[in-house]
A and B are shown apart, each in its own frame.
Chain A
Amino acid sequence: MKLVVVSAGLSAPSSTRLLADRLTAATTAHVDAEVEVIELRDLATEIAQHFVTGFPPARLAAALDAVASADGLIAVSPVFAASYSGLFKSFFDVIDRDALTGKPVLIGATGGTARHSLVTEHALRPLFTYLRALVLPTAVYAASEDWGEEGLATRIARAGGELARFMAPATVPDVDTTAAIAPRSLHGAITSVDPSAGFATGLVPFEQRLAALRGE
């Protein structure tokens, strides 16, 4: 199975990446999975280019493909201005709108103060609900002060266990064929520039379209 981790931390070392790694370890303790970590910082320019040109440069396309084909996803963002970071949102803005459908997603966030702790519920959870992901019940928020507290480890362990329980090999993808080949992705579109991916499956034959219009 494949576990993909999206970390939107900006500094190195990053507490966001640290939380992502802890969540990954808590998950792989229960399930045998190949792990791929995507640091959005490395893709910042390519994400911006995608907005301007309408298609993803190669490395971003590979990252979007990885997320789409994952059996489970861990997504962690730092808190900026009371929400996920703009870079984090931008990455999920350019992903195919069906890429996360039914996919188990463990959400996490880091921040300087515990007063932001409901960001996971106010911001991240609705985002992934909109993307029709299966958002796991336990979300992990880590404020600076949490790193020395026992409670964080407990929450991480619980969250990792939940993700492991729901991860299963991906079934037939439910991808809209029109969207899947559309490079212009203001609502999320292309995840792949791999021509072997193909898109003819699900194409409605022309006679059927014509007949439907004629009310036949």
Chain B
Amino acid sequence: MQFGIFTVGDVTVDPTTGRAPSEHERIKAMLAIAQKAEEVGLDVFATGEHHNPPFVPSSPTTMLGYIAARTENLILSTSTTLITTNDPVKIAEDFAMLQHVAEGRVDVMMGRGNTGPVYPWFGKDIRDGIDLAIENYALLRRLWDEDVVTWKGKFRTPLQSFTSTPRPLDGVAPFVWHGSIRSPEIAEQAAYYGDGFFHNHIFWPASHTKQMVNLYRQRYAHYGHGTPEQAIVGLGGQVFMRKNSQDAVREFRPYFDNAPVYGHGPSLEEFTSQTPLTVGSPQEVIERTLSFRDYVGDYQRQLFLMDHAGLPLKTVLEQLDLLGEEVVPVLRKEFANRRPANVPDAPTHAARVEAKRQEVTQA
């Protein structure tokens, strides 16, 4: 099981000071947070992609390239890369380059993740959202898997004998997760390719996540990639911790109450009971996170949202200390104890290179 963090990259006013960081401060904070993730023993850092304020991460591979140079073990990923409005040719090249720079410590999460106005900024139409996700990804797969591609589609100019460079490291493309909150079409797409399915899992009730993951697992088996239990599932999560549960609630409440995504609505207590948000002691976070398995089954990747809603960098780094020192070691052990032998581990570049080598040897 892999553990990590995923960031949205929002620039939000800290409600306790009334001050928002500058874009530059926020970007530097994200870089510090990623390095801290490695330092405390997490496996994954994933960044979102946005092209509108108040979000800063418009250029994930640039950011991840820097982090690659500053880390040794961290897997660099996205949450999500926009398969709808980005040119699949550029995605193929950017992430293959990142693979080389990072010695293979790269995977990528595809998503549509766009609000309506973003589409025309990149020459696209939101009404084509699902179709763009399907066609662009189908092309991206070919660009990674085939050295020379001749292709014609609906949404971009045709390709004649085109080679995307650099070729994927060791001939193995980055592992792909498909992230979706509510589109069964995307769960279906992930299942069709035998790729991973990531449910963001925050802001909505667990029952909804369960529905989506179940669909993906059933369709994964339908397409012959393995049993439903063997499908590759990732989940998000959202926590705020202090040693003492009451301190966590007291400190996080003003951030919760003013957060753009749920502030000014339900109380912290109501939202905690209705969604996977956990505010409390490390032990409470451990128990809650272990319970995710009860409704999605054994899964491969758990990412936490830690640096949002205006929380200062210092606080986020303290949170990562708690996560790395007190929570993740216990979760690693407990999830491993519960996982049946036939459920595969989270995909890594090294494991996939080895699997490919065996495939070639056998053939």
Contacts and interface: CB of A to CB of B under 8 A. Distances in A.
A200 B263 CA distance: 32
Given A52-B266, A55-B274, A57-B274, A184 B182 contact: yes
Given A203-B188, A205-B188, A183 B134 contact: no
Contacts of B130: 209
A85 to B, nearest CB: 20
Contacts of B23: none
B226 interface: no
Contacts of B265: 48-49, 51-53
Given A195-B210, A213-B153, A54 B134 contact: no
A195 B266 contact: no
Chain B, interface size category, equals 35 or more
B153 A178 contact: no
A205 B185 CA distance: 8
B105 to A, nearest CB: 30
A181 B208 contact: yes
B134 A204 contact: no
B354 interface: no
Contact of B203 (A54, A190, A193, A199): A54
A53 B271 contact: yes
Contacts of B263: 52
Interface stretch (B60-68, B76-84, B211-219): B211-219
B208 A178 contact: no
A143 to B, nearest CB: 36
Contacts of B185: 178, 203-204, 209
Contact of B184 (A49, A55, A184, A199): A199
A145 interface: no
Contacts of B264: 52
B189 A193 contact: no
Contact of A199 (B135, B211, B261): B211
Interface string B181-201: 111110011011000000000
A177 interface: yes
Given A206-B188, A213-B131, A213-B135, A49 B182 contact: no
Given A49-B265, A53-B274, A200-B218, 4 more contacts: A54-B203, A57-B266, A206-B188, A206-B189
Interface of B: 130-131, 134-135, 138, 153-154, 181-185, 188-189, 191-192, 203-205, 207-208, 210-212, 214-215, 218, 261-266, 270-271, 274-275, 295
23 contacts: A52-B262, A52-B263, A53-B261, A53-B262, A53-B274, A54-B204, A55-B208, A57-B266, A178-B182, A178-B184, A181-B208, A183-B181, A183-B182, A184-B182, A199-B184, A200-B218, A203-B184, A206-B191, A209-B130, A209-B185, A213-B131, A213-B135, A213-B153
Closest 5 CB pairs of A and B: A52-B265, A206-B192, A182-B182, A195-B207, A49-B266
